[in-house]
Amino acid sequence: MNTAANLRARGYNDEDEGNRAFVDSLFSLERRMRHPLETMGEGSSDEELSEDEQGPYLLPMDEARKRHFANKKQEQQPTAPQKATTSQQGAAATASQRTQGIAPAPAPAPMEGVQELRGAQKGISKAPNPTKKTTNGSVARVAPVKKVSSRAPPLPPSPSAPPVAATSRLEPLPRTLHVPKPPPFPRTLHSTSAALPAGNTRTSVGRSSRPSKRPASSIEDSDSEDVEIIEQVSSPPKKIPAPLPSTSKKASPKKSAAPSPKKKRGKVPTVKEAWTKDDKMGAKAIQEKWQTLANYIDHLNEVADENPPKSKILSKFRILIVHPDITNGESSPNRIDAYLVRRIGQLMELGARLVKPQEFVARSPSSSFTDGDANEWTTHVIVPEIHPGLRIRFEKVLGCLGLDPQGITVEQLGDAVHVVREKWAWDYEAAVKFKTDLPDEADYYLPDDPRHKPTASTSPRKKNKGKTAKGKGKGKAKAGEYDTSDSSGAEDGEDKEAERASISPFGTQDYPLGEKPPPRQLLERLAGEDKAKKQRADGSASSDHLAVEPMAGLHKEFAYIKKHGADQVDRELKFADQEHDRLNSEARGELHPLDGEDTTILDERSDDNETEEEEEEEERKRYASKRVLPDGWREFVTNKGKKKFRPPPKGYACDRGSSTDPSKPGPNESIARVLDQLSIINKGDEWRERGYSKAAAALRNCPYPVTTHSEARELYGIGERIASKIVEVIQTGTHRRLSMSTNYEKIISVFSNIYGVGRSLAEIFYDKGARTLHDLKAKPELYNVREPQMLGLKYYDDLLQRIPRDEVTRLFEYARAAAAKIDPKLEVHCMGSYRRGAMSCGDIDLLVTRDPSDGKDHTGMIAQLWDMLKEEKIIAHELTSSDDWNALDAKYNALCSLPQPGSLMRRLDILGVPFDELPACLIYFTGDDHFNRSMRLKARHLGYRLNQRGLYKDVTRGRDGTKLTEGSKVLCKTEKDIFKLLSVPWRPPEQRRCS
C-alpha cells in the first residue's frame, strides 16, 4: 500500500540489471484489463488467493526478486539463439542482456513474473463483487486489442507509425539488439524504424515477456475468475503479436472509412475547432455531454478521423492522462472536465494519441519504442501535479494503470513509461510548447529543427509569466530603472521619462547600489535577438529529438523522499488521510467556528481529542507566559558568554507567527521603517516591493537589535543586498536611495495614496500634467477621475489616518445593533487588524453571516443592514457593492463615520459569508496579508489550495502554478481544522501579525 515504504524497501534508486529485468517481467504482461477505477482501493484479501498465486506474491519483494532473477539466469540460454540470428556479434553482449528481460522466457521465469503480477492484480482487483470482475475482465480482454484498433483510426495523420508497426511486426526488429540502450524517449519512429533491419519479431522482442508470462500463468493458475487471465491465455498461444496489430489495423481503416462518408456534410471541424468549441461549453455541459474521459477521447477521435490534424509532431506519442480526480478516489473517477478537454484537445491537435485508462500498455523497459509493438505502448503517463512526495500517491496512479502498487515502484514504472507531471505539457524546453492558444505548428519544433521558427518562441513564454500586463508593467518599470538604452525610450519618451532618467542613478548598466541584476535572459533579449538566433541556427544535428528524461517530472518526488525519508512521507500521507476522514465522517457537535478561538487563548473549549488538548495546554503555556521565545527561535551562548537568540532557519511566516509585541516598537523598528520606504519606492515591481516588505517584517519579528551584516543575514528574508542596505541604515540612519527619490516619485506616491488610485492611474495623472492633489480636484474631468477616486480625493487626509481601536469598536457596535434588529441570529464580527488586537486599524472589516441550521440564511439581510446603516448616517458613501445583494458571498465597500460632528471618514468593509465557509473566511479576513499568503503558499506546497472559501485538496496545477482543477473541499468546521491539516501551529489572531 505504502508507496513510500515500498520505494524505500526496494531502494528506489536501484538501477541494477536485476531490477530492470524484474521490471521487465512486471510490465511485459499485458496490462491486466480490469478497470482500475472500479477495483481500486478494494480490500485485498490475501486469503482468497490460491496458493499458487500467493507464493511469490506474498514474498517480500526482495525475496521475490531474487527468485525471479535466479530464474532469469536459466532463461538466458533459450534466448541466446535468437540473438544470434538477429544481432551482430558486437551487439551480442548487450543484446543478450537486453533480451533477457524481453526474450520469451522459459516457463519458470515467466511464471514467477506472472504470478507476481497476478497476485498483485488480485490484491487490487479483488473486487468485492464478482460481477465487477467479469465486467472488468471483459473490458480488459477487449481492451488490449481493441483499444489499439479503435485508437488507430483517428490517427490517419500518423501514417508513419502504423507502417512501422506493421513492418516490425512482420519482420521482427533486431533494433533493440543493436542499440545499446533503448532510447528512453519515443523518438520518431520513421528514421529509426526505416533503418532497422528485420529482426526479432514482436514475439521475440516486445512480446517476449508477455507471452511467456501469459501462458505460464494461464496454464498454471486455473483462475477462472480473472478474465484477464483467460484472455491472456488465449492470446499467447495465438501469438500475441498477430491479434493486436492486425485487429488494430483492420479496425482503423474500417472506422475511418465508414464514418467519413457519412459525416461528410458541411465543414468538418478540425480537432482544434472541436475542442475549443467544447471548451466553451463550460464545465457543466461538458460533463453532462461526455461524462467520462474515455468518451471524450472517443469523441475527438471521431473528429480526427474525418479531419486529421495536420501536425504530426506528437504522432508517436501515446499519452495517458491520469486525472487528479482519479487519484482522488471514488468521488468522480474518470470524469471529464474542462481542463481535460483542453489538454486532450491540445495533444491530439499535435497528432498525439490519447490512451484511455483501460487501454494502458506499458512497454517492456528493455525494448525500444521502435520495436514492433511501438504502436501499442503507452509512451507517456501524465500524472497530476502534486506536491513532491507528499501527495503523489503513486499507489493510486498505479492503480489507475492497472498495476499493482505493491509490486511496482515508481521508478520501475518510469522505466516503462515516461511518467511526467502535468506541467510536462507545458514544458517547452523539454518537448513542445502546449499553450492555451496554440501557435503555428512551426513553434512546436525544437529550436534546432530546421522547421523551427524562432520568431514566435518568445511570445508564449511571456504569456506564461502570469498576468501579462503585470509583466509588461514590470518590464517597463525595470526598463526604466535598469536600462537606459532602448526600451524606455520607446515606451515612454516623455518629459517625465527624461526627468526620471536624469535623476535616477540607475541609468547605467552598473548597479551602484548593489541592485539585483535583472535576469540574464532579459538582458540578452534587450541586447538583441541575433545572438539567440545564431545559437539556434548552430544547433542542428538530430531533428528527431524531443528529448525528455524519463521520469523527468518526478525528480522532485524522489528528492523529497530522499530528503525526508520514506517513513516520514508515509506518515504525512497517513496523517492527511486520517484527518480528511475524520473531518468528513465525524459528526462533531455543533461547534461554532469562533468558539474557543476568539475569546482567550486560555479558553478551553473542548476539542475532541486528547492529544489536541495536550497541544493546547502546551500552547497555552507558551503564549500565555509572555511568549518568551517564538517557535523555532533558540537561545544560545556566544563564545564571550553572551546570551543570544537565533532565528528559526527558515519556513513559512504562518509557522513562525509573530513573536514580538506589536504594541511596542521592536528594537529594529527604525530600520524596518526605512525598508518600508524602500518597499513603497519599489511599488511597481511587485516582487521587489514584497522583498523589502518581507525583510522589514523579518526585522520587526526579531527580538534583538540587529547590528551587523551577518546578524541581518541570519534572518529569513534578508539577503546580501538588503543586509548591506541595513548596514548602511544602521550607520547613516537612512539609505541613499531614499534621499535620491525624485520629485516624480514623490508625486506618484502622493497620488497613489488616494483610495482607488494605483500606480498606473497615478502615472496617467502625472502624464496629463497633474502635480498636486489640487490639480486633480480642480478638473477631475480632465483626469477622468471617477467617483470612488473622487471620494478618495475628498477624504484624502481622513482615509490616511489610522482608526483608534475604540472608534472601531463603536462603529462595530452600531452595525451589530442594526443586525440584531434584522435578525437576532445574524452575526456580525469585526475582523482584520481589529481581531488581531491592533490598537489602531486602517479600516473597519466586518463579516456578516448566519447559521442556517434553522433553515434560514442571511440572504438579503446585508442589503437591509446596509440600508439601516445608511439611515443612521453611519455609511456616508458607497464605494462598491456586489451586483447580487442576495448573494451569500459578497463584498461591499463604503465610507462611514461616527454620527457625530468632527468624526473622520473611515473605510468600511463588509463581507457576506456563507456559514459553511466561515472557518476559511475567518482565516482570510483575520490576516494579516503576509500571514495569509504564507499559509496559502504552504497549502499549495502540500497539494492543497486555500482561499477564503475553504481548503481544497488534490488540486492540479500547471507549470506556472496555475490552477487546473478545483480540487475538492475538505470539510473543516473551525479554523483549527485548517491549521491542523496544514501543520501550522495554532495561533490566535493576535499572533498572526507577520508584517
Ligand X SMILES: O=c1ccn([C@H]2C[C@H](O)[C@@H](COP(=O)(O)OP(=O)(O)OP(=O)(O)O)O2)c(=O)[nH]1
Partner DNA sequence: ACCCAGCTATC
Partner DNA sequence: GATAGC
Partner DNA sequence: GGGT
Dihedrals φ, ψ of 438, to 5°? -80, 125
Task: For residue 460, state whether it binds DNA (rule: CB under 7 A).
Answer: no
Q: Which is nearer to ligand X, 874 or 908 (CB)?
A: 908
Task: For residue 945, state whether it binds DNA (rule: CB under 7 A).
Answer: yes
What residue 959 binds from ligand X, Mg ion, DNA, none (CB within 5 to 8 A, per partner kind)?
A: DNA
For residue 878, what are the β-bridge partners? 894
Task: For residue 833, state whether it binds ligand X (rule: CB under 6 A).
Answer: yes
Q: Which is nearer to DNA, 666 or 756 (CB)?
A: 756
Strand order in the sheet with 826-830: 826-830, 844-850, 906-912, 890-896, 875-880
CA distance 254 to 256: 5
Map the footprint of DNA across residues 309-348, applying CB under 7 A.
none
CA distance 910 to 880: 10
Which span (373-381, 504-512, 835-843, 867-875) binds ligand X, by CB under 6 A?
Answer: 835-843
Are the CB atoms for 989 and 835 separated by under 8 Å?
A: yes
CB of 863 to DNA, least distance (A): 13
Half-sphere exposure of 326 (CA within 13 A, CB side): 34
Q: Which long-range contacts (CB under 8 A, 24 or more apart) does 868-876 make?
A: 868/818, 868/821, 868/822, 869/814, 869/815, 869/818, 869/896, 872/814, 872/818, 872/899, 873/899, 874/811, 874/814, 874/815, 874/898, 874/899, 875/908, 876/905
Q: Which is nearer to DNA, 66 or 941 (CB)?
A: 941
Task: For residue 720, state whether it binds DNA (rule: CB under 7 A).
Answer: yes
What residue 647 binds from Mg ion, ligand X, DNA, none (CB within 5 to 8 A, per partner kind)?
A: none
Are the CB atoms for 121 and 404 separated by under 8 Å?
A: yes
CB of 842 to DNA, least distance (A): 8
CA distance 175 to 244: 20
Q: Spell 610-628 as b/e; 16+ CB within 10 A means b.
A: eeeeebbeebeebbeeebe
What residue 928 binds from Mg ion, ligand X, DNA, none (CB within 5 to 8 A, per partner kind)?
A: ligand X
Residue 680, C-beta contacts closer than 8 angstroms, at least 6 positions apart: 689, 749
CA distance 426 to 435: 7
Task: For residue 366, state whether it binds ligand X (rule: CB under 6 A).
Answer: no
Are the CB atoms for 329 and 38 separated by under 8 Å?
A: no
CB of 842 to Mg ion, least distance (A): 5
CA distance 322 to 494: 53
Map the footprint of DNA across residues 831-850, applying CB under 7 A.
832, 843, 845
Q: Give the CA radius of gyration of the chain.
A: 33
CA distance 994 to 651: 13
Task: For residue 807, state whether it binds ligand X (rule: CB under 6 A).
Answer: no
Vertex 79, ends 74 and 80: CA angle to 5°? 100
Task: For residue 832, state whether it binds ligand X (rule: CB under 6 A).
Answer: yes
As a whole number of Å, the end-to-end CA separation of the chain is: 43
Which span (566-574, 621-629, 804-812, 879-887) binds DNA, by CB under 7 A?
Answer: 879-887
Q: Which of 75, 371, 843, 857 binds ligand X (CB under 6 A)?
A: 843
Q: Which is nearer to Mg ion, 137 or 832 (CB)?
A: 832
CA distance 247 to 238: 13
Task: For residue 206, state whether it binds DNA (rule: CB under 7 A).
Answer: no
CB of 430 to DNA, least distance (A): 11
Report which DSSP code applies to 366.
T
In the annotation, is 264 catalytic? Answer: no
- Environment class of 222 (CB within 10 Å of its CB; exposed 0-12, middle 13-18, buried 19+): exposed
Q: Which is nearer to ligand X, 428 or 924 (CB)?
A: 924
CA-to-CA separations, 316 to 352, 917, 923, in angstroms, rounded? 7, 47, 49
Q: Which is nearer to DNA, 472 or 605 (CB)?
A: 472
Number of other CB atoms surrounding residue 521 within 10 Å: 11
Task: For residue 692, state whether it binds DNA (rule: CB under 7 A).
Answer: yes
CB of 488 to DNA, least distance (A): 17
Q: What is the largest CA-CA distance in the chain?
A: 103
What residue 17 binds from Mg ion, DNA, ligand X, none (CB within 5 to 8 A, per partner kind)?
A: none
Are the CB atoms for 390 and 943 separated by under 8 Å?
A: yes
Which span (43-51, 240-248, 609-617, 752-760) binds DNA, by CB under 7 A?
Answer: 752-760
Map the footprint of ligand X across residues 952-981, applying CB under 6 A.
none
CB of 723 to DNA, least distance (A): 6
For residue 644, what are the β-bridge partners? 636
Q: Which is nearer to ligand X, 473 or 842 (CB)?
A: 842
What residue 688 binds from DNA, Mg ion, ligand X, none (CB within 5 to 8 A, per partner kind)?
A: DNA
Binding mask 772-791 for DNA (x = CB under 7 A): --------------xx----
Residue 796, C-beta contacts closer than 8 angstroms, at least 6 positions apart: 753, 754, 773
Are the CB atoms for 548 and 417 separated by under 8 Å?
A: no
Q: Which of 808, 841, 848, 908 binds ligand X (CB under 6 A)?
A: 841
Query: Cell 515516461 identifies what position?
Result: 418
**Residues forming the site for Mg ion (CB under 5 A):** 832-833, 843, 845
Task: For residue 496, state whether it binds DNA (rule: CB under 7 A).
Answer: no
CB of 425 to DNA, least distance (A): 13
CA distance 796 to 776: 12
CB of 858 to ligand X, least distance (A): 20
Q: Which is nearer to Mg ion, 668 or 833 (CB)?
A: 833
Of residues 213, 725, 973, 976, which has the active-site annotation?
Answer: 725
Task: For residue 539, state whether it binds DNA (rule: CB under 7 A).
Answer: no
Are the CB atoms for 243 and 235 separated by under 8 Å?
A: yes
Q: Which is nearer to ligand X, 275 or 924 (CB)?
A: 924
Map the footprint of ligand X across residues 901-930, applying CB under 6 A.
924-929
Q: Which is nearer to Mg ion, 275 or 812 (CB)?
A: 812
Map the footprint of ligand X across residues 929-948, applying CB under 6 A.
929, 932
Which span (73-81, 369-377, 710-718, 839-847) binds ligand X, by CB under 6 A?
Answer: 839-847
Q: Which of 112, 572, 845, 990 binds ligand X (CB under 6 A)?
A: 845
Map the footprint of DNA across residues 953-992, applying CB under 7 A.
959-961, 963
CB of 829 to ligand X, least distance (A): 12
Instruction: Please state whether beta strands 945-946 and 951-953 pair in parallel, antiparallel, or not at all (unpaired).
Output: antiparallel
Assigned C-alpha cell, 526: 534587450
Task: For residue 728, state whether it binds DNA (rule: CB under 7 A).
Answer: no
3-state secondary structure 399-421: HHCCCCCCCCCHHHHHHHCEEEE
- Binding-site residue total for ligand X (CB under 6 A)? 14
Q: Which is nearer to DNA, 415 or 909 (CB)?
A: 909
Map the footprint of ligand X across residues 402-441, applying CB under 6 A.
none
What residue 891 binds from Mg ion, DNA, ligand X, none (CB within 5 to 8 A, per partner kind)?
A: DNA
Q: Which is nearer to DNA, 250 or 786 (CB)?
A: 786
CA distance 927 to 418: 42
CB of 569 to DNA, least distance (A): 17
Task: For residue 722, state whether it binds DNA (rule: CB under 7 A).
Answer: yes
CB of 880 to DNA, least distance (A): 4
CA distance 96 to 562: 33
Are the CB atoms for 361 and 151 separated by under 8 Å?
A: no
Assigned C-alpha cell, 317: 506519442
928 cis-preceded (ω within 30 degrees of 0): yes
Binding mask 245-274 for DNA (x = CB under 7 A): ------------------------------
Q: Which is nearer to DNA, 117 or 479 (CB)?
A: 479
Interface contacts to ligand X, rule CB under 6 A: 832-833, 838, 841-843, 845, 924-929, 932
Question: Annotated active-site positions, please?
Answer: 725
